[in-house]
Structure 1
Amino acid sequence: MTATSREIVERVLRAGRELDVDTFVALMAPDGYIEWPYRPPGVPARVQGRAEIRRHLTEVAKGFIRFHEYRAVVLHETADPEVVIVEYDAHGTVVTTGAPFQQTVIAVIRVQDGRIVSYRDYVNPLPLVELLADITATPADA
């Protein structure tokens, strides 16, 4: 039996939290994409295709913030059976400093034939902007 869109979304969320890049990428369609409509400078607007998504997850995202828990997770199944909207609070730590990090997320995910074709990630960019400012601050800035 083919997995439902909701089940695919639950799997990709678990893979993201567990840093299981192989599972995350396998759940994406070959030309699927992740995009961030609201993002700080330096964060790409979109990564598309399995190879680019894998590169982003292994070279960029994995070494920056480690999420340990998603709290208050709510999945909304929509009138379109391909679309699931998910909202949650991501709690983790900054890899370089060990400082706690929290971010609110709303994502709109479209699944076709058991694979994610689009993952629009509407993260609250403010905590990330603050983190990037702290990381790039020089002693003269302090």
Structure 2
Amino acid sequence: MPATTPTAPAELYRHGLRLLLDKNIGDWIGLWAEDGVMEFPFAPEGRPRRLEGREAVAAYMRDYPDHIDLHDFPELRIHETTDPATIVVEMRGVGRLVRTGAPFDMTYIAVVTVRDGRIAAYRDYWNPLAVQDPAADFTGSTR
């Protein structure tokens, strides 16, 4: 990880959002611990509920910019918890769906734990009812 990458949970998370806006999925994956876990507790049937390891997260996110053109994360609120390694994030992701050009507007709540300056756990609570395409994943993209 470059020396300029923040390691505190809130700043690391903000840095990750900037990387997603820049469509720099490779560096975003670099923020993850080798054994990091990403979970989607509200994932609909047929969609992954748990990704174990950086490589699984990378495989899932690799094509993200081909599906979602993110423009901003307005209404970002990061809450510290009694565990200094864990934050709770409330935010909106806005942009457009690449395939259709339709607007993308998704509200998220995430619980993120950082270990040794890397994302160790990420639980992404999103509303699957907000996704119109039944073949869409947590981002609203189709695979």
Same fold (TM over 0.5): yes
Q: Equivalent residue of 1:118, what SS?
A: strand
Asked if structure 2 preserves the Cα contact closer than 8 Å seen for 1:83 and 1:109, the reply is yes
Compute the TM-score of the two structures, normalised by the length of structure 1. 0.83
Aligned match of 2:58: 54
Q: Report the counterpart of residue 116 of structure 1 in structure 2.
A: 119
Worse-superposed segment, 20-29 or 7-16: 7-16
**Alignment equivalent of 1:20, drawn from 21, 24, 34:** 24
Contact 2:109 2:124 in 1 (8 A): yes
Correspondence 1:1-142 to 2 at 5 A? 3-59=7-63, 61-128=64-131, 130-132=132-134
Distance 1:39 1:17, change over 3 A: farther
CA RMSD of aligned residues (A): 2.0
Give secondary structure in 2 for the equivalent of 1:90. strand
From the superposition, tell whether residues 97 and 131 of structure 1 become closer, same or farther in structure 2 (CA, over 3 Å): same
Q: Offset at 1:133?
A: 6.6
Instruction: Give 1:103 deviation, angstroms.
Output: 0.7
- Pairwise CA distance, 1:123: 1.0
Residue 11 (structure 1) shift: 1.4
Q: State which structure, 1 or 2, has the greater radius of gyration over its C-alpha atoms.
A: 1
Contact 2:87–2:113 (Cα < 8 Å) also in 1: yes
Q: Percent identity?
A: 36
Q: Write out the 4+ residue segments of structure 1 that deviate beyond 6 Å after TM superposition.
A: none
Report how far residue 55 of structure 1 moved: 1.2
Structure 1 residues without counterparts, runs of 5 or longer: 135-142
The amino acid across from 1:36 in the alignment is F
Which structure shows the higher helix fraction?
Answer: 1
CA distances 1:72-101 after superposition (whole Å, capped 9, x unpaired): 000101111000111111111111110001
Query: In the alignment, which residue of structure 2 is the partner of 1:138?
Result: none
- How far the C-alpha of 1:27 sits from its partner, in A, is 0.6
- Whole-angstrom distance in 2 between the partners of 1:34 and 1:68: 23
| TM-score, normalised via structure 2 length | 0.83
1:9–1:84 CA contact under 8 A, matched in 2: no
